[in-house]
Structure 1
């Protein structure tokens, strides 16, 4: 039987947006999963962070990051302009809060590629709107292999990332969901399932109360 698309649109309930967090040690695959999610789902937007690190080849200011100088970043911290911020590998990163709050009110979802420190800060400020997902590598040896294969870091930097990875992995239990990335497509499928389920939570359906009231106020059966 054919589905009436107009009917589906009429019964779509308004909802509040969510903050979907992907965290993992460097090299565990969160950036790959994030890109696949953004390409496959039109309802989620990348949260664009401000950073003091230099722009890399191919990056676009305002799309990949808001690239700012350290004094500007420090001023934003003083003005409480960030939802979360952290200092990582000699550079500062932070999420401007105005764009997130306004978008969520309109029912838009935001994807965050942040570490456990940023996740803790978001949980403290808006735990009901946060969906934290931690991605684990299948093994430490595989993580090291992936970092070496990228060919972007010197051996000393790779060792520093491995040391930090162990520290980050120790925070796995602070996340609502944990997924092992032993296969990219399988991991991606699980992450999408989590996102779809969280969107349907009763607490996020802001139009549900009025919808149910209309159902209950309708004519009695047989009328």
Structure 2
């Protein structure tokens, strides 16, 4: 039997580089699928249905909430955003690993809705480095920079809710650390139970002969 895939849930403060780390990891590993979120907001220029998001009406989204079709969802600035449950569970059942790159609120909701998740927090090397990365984007005012810093300090307090923490000194190193976590998780006794059972069921007499 094929072992189930892993559900990898990545979070971290803005500027820590979780999106870049995810992309670097995916470039080196084929058996990975990134979950596509669903939203009720209108598509923006260049966004593609089924790749950027699944775009649905408020009525359809709320019907899916009532039917428990989301691993997690939230309402942000008047629009719903959520992670559809069915596709994630389908890919995992097929033996593919799934990455959810979501905020802390979403990750905590996933923890409540599934026992399978592996929760990984991406940390910046330091708050000074985080500041440099955010300023380097060139899109922050002094006020918004302060808001992001306050948010980052608050978010780091949630790291104890996660299974692993990766400090993103460099993207290459962080992606390698993520790969090591995945490899270790795939070697858990509970995940290789099929192979263990197969060994135990081999005919001892036949082996002796």
Q: What TM bracket, shorter-length normalisation?
A: 0.7 to 0.9
Partner of 2:105: 117
Task: String of CA shifts for 1:41-72, please: whole Å, max 9, x gaps.
Answer: 11110011113455455432211222334444
Q: Where does residue 83 of structure 2 map in the other structure?
A: 95
Compute the TM-score of the two structures, normalised by the length of structure 2. Answer: 0.87
1:5 aligned partner? none
From 148, 161, 166, the equivalent of 1:174 is 161
1:36 maps to 2:1? no
CA RMSD, Structure 1 to Structure 2 (Å): 2.3
Q: Which residue of 1 aligns with 2:202?
A: 215
Q: Is contact 2:39–2:53 with CA below 8 Å preserved after alignment?
A: yes
The corresponding residue for 2:181 is 194
Match runs of 1:12-23 below 5 Å:
14-23=2-11
Q: Which runs of 5+ in 2 are unaligned?
A: none
Give the 3 Å change call, closer, same or farther, for CA 80–109 of structure 1 in structure 2.
Answer: same
- The structure 1 residue matched to 2:53, chosen from 55, 60, 65, is 65
Aligned residues: 209
> Structure 1, unaligned stretches of length 5 or more?
1-12
What is the match of residue 4 of structure 1?
none
Which residue is 1:133 aligned to? 120
Q: Mean Cα displacement is larger for which, 115-124 or 30-39?
A: 115-124
Taking a change above 3 Å as real, the CA distance of residues 143 and 52 of structure 1, as seen in their structure-2 partners, is farther
User: What's the offset of the Cα at 1:19?
Assistant: 0.5
CA distance in 2, matches of 1:74, 1:158: 34
What is the CA deviation profile of residues 86-123 of structure 1, one whole-angstrom value per residue up to 9, with x for unaligned ones? 23466432110011112211112100101222222222
Query: Once the two structures are superposed, what CA deviation does each residue of 1:121-152 show, in whole Å capped at 9, x if it has no partner?
Result: 2222222x211110111122221221221234
8 Å Cα contact 1:14/1:205 also seen in 2: no
